[in-house]
A and B are shown apart, each in its own frame.
Chain A
């Protein structure tokens, strides 16, 4: 099956600054894909390249097999993009905005789908309100609706929940999940890593214009060590032999939370038994204990700090 998005060795420079350094990715049809990275990693440049707003210096991008430069008309028909910036046209109402956007994609008489999109994004009560009069969250919903107005098989969401309330997030994810279940490919960039962890099946992490990690969410969570054991001691202190496992931030602050709570880094579950044995031998008594799994945020930090990942 043709990839939903095929990115091959894409490079892009701005006045000597290399924003993308040979990025290659293949996103399959029907995937919910996360594109993560710190500010300046090249995420928005890559999305703009996919959207045809930026032309790559080297390499190519194909949407459902259509090159975004040489076959731009077909490529754009397949793609819906929610831009990061909260942009809108102040002359029009919500319904006018969506009808116009629909027309730009060559669709007449699209009101049934427009109504459905508005309904699913809780925009119906605002249908005839001018864009200027909407709150930031409502404008964000309209941006999402504009990207979906031509039912694109590939939907790219560039930080769609930045600065919006919980209600919109829930409404948005519910609708986007439904579209994904119906076969739409979704590409998401976000700084909210818990959202990415909850939604994405596969993730690519970008750092300074390079892909530094590309894997399924479950593999990423499995491959990177980083669980932690939180122990609250009733009596005694942490033995010297365990001090090297204490998280850096607690080293800096000394003993935290009343003096006897420690967060110890654990690379594998079988290390837990050894830690408990050392605590017993030292006479320390455990009051509370918790084993915390590494989450996407821990993995993200490790990767961005340069820890190797296979």
Chain B
């Protein structure tokens, strides 16, 4: 495995160039969407609820929205690139050269991290004007943002390889990624949930990404950031192993 091989760097650069060429759609649009979430939910709920002790709702919401943008866009990057390449047939340009499955997965995931972080940064810059945010533990912010984007980028690789049609990918996104993200505490603290749903939330790995990320801002979270880190790291390793194995076996790519 050589993360700095010319092959890896080229595929990584190509994936960056691909989303950058349509930045209005891939960067600006999700930033605007997140700002709308903030305006609506922040306006309606500000002053009415307190999610973490001493943290107003808008301040609580912003890290959640940033992380949601990071996750959703990281997934969108790798999954849409792969499905488009599969359907138009140009994936053959990746499959014919001597790129290893490590290089392919790491390039797609790395580019997904870049896009996720770019959108997340954009959302933060725009929404930070609406509340006073502190950076209690900035390292945790970076760790969870990168790991979260890597996880969703890897899920995007898996979904992009598995899906044969756009509607299959849409199903993956709408019935798995979207509910898991929304039910992970983007808009609320899971401590506010009834006991049953509180217990269910602990089985959602997305919750730990968002909760750990939020800890970096407030120094407060529903669970310890170390617990979140362990769960998120294991989740990433498992997903990465699945993605690499799919490529190694040529699943749905090399018949």
Contacts and interface: CB of A to CB of B under 8 A. Distances in A.
B97 interface: yes
A77 B93 CA distance: 13
B255 interface: yes
Interface residues of B, number: 28
A231 B131 CA distance: 97
Contacts of A88: 88, 90
A277 B188 CA distance: 103
Given A87-B88, A104-B97, A54 B255 contact: yes
Interface string A102-129: 1111111000000000000000000000
Given A100-B14, A103-B7, A89 B255 contact: no
A92 interface: yes
Contacts of A105: 7, 97-98
A101 interface: yes
A91 B90 CA distance: 11
Contact of A103 (B9, B22, B95): B9
B10 A85 contact: no
A106 B5 contact: yes
Residue from the set B9, B10, B97, B99 with the largest chain A CB neighbour count within 10 Å: B97
A83 interface: yes
Contacts of A51: 96
B92 interface: yes
Nearest to B249: A55
Interface residues of A, number: 34
B89 A85 contact: yes
Nearest to B100: A73
A81 interface: yes
Contacts of A91: 17-18, 21-22
Contacts, number: 81
B175 to A, nearest CB: 29
B254 interface: yes
A198 B15 CA distance: 42
Contacts of B14: 92, 100, 103
A79 B9 CA distance: 21
A107 B6 contact: yes
Contacts of B21: 91
Contacts of B98: 72-74, 76-77, 104-106
Contacts of A54: 254-255
A92 B93 contact: no
Nearest to B92: A83
Interface in B96-139: 96-100
A90 interface: yes
B17 A55 contact: no
Given A106-B6, A108-B6, A53 B13 contact: no
A146 interface: yes
Interface string A82-100: 0101011111100010001
Contacts of A92: 14, 17
Nearest to B88: A87
A114 to B, nearest CB: 13
B28 interface: no
Interface of A: 14, 48, 51-55, 72-74, 76-77, 79, 81, 83, 85, 87-92, 96, 100-108, 146, 150
9 contacts: A53-B92, A73-B98, A76-B96, A81-B96, A90-B88, A91-B17, A91-B22, A100-B10, A103-B6
Interface of B: 5-7, 9-11, 13-14, 17-18, 21-22, 85, 88-90, 92-100, 250, 254-255
Given A89-B90, A91-B21, A106-B98, 14 more contacts: A52-B96, A53-B96, A73-B98, A76-B96, A83-B92, A87-B92, A100-B13, A104-B10, A104-B11, A104-B93, A105-B97, A105-B98, A107-B6, A146-B93
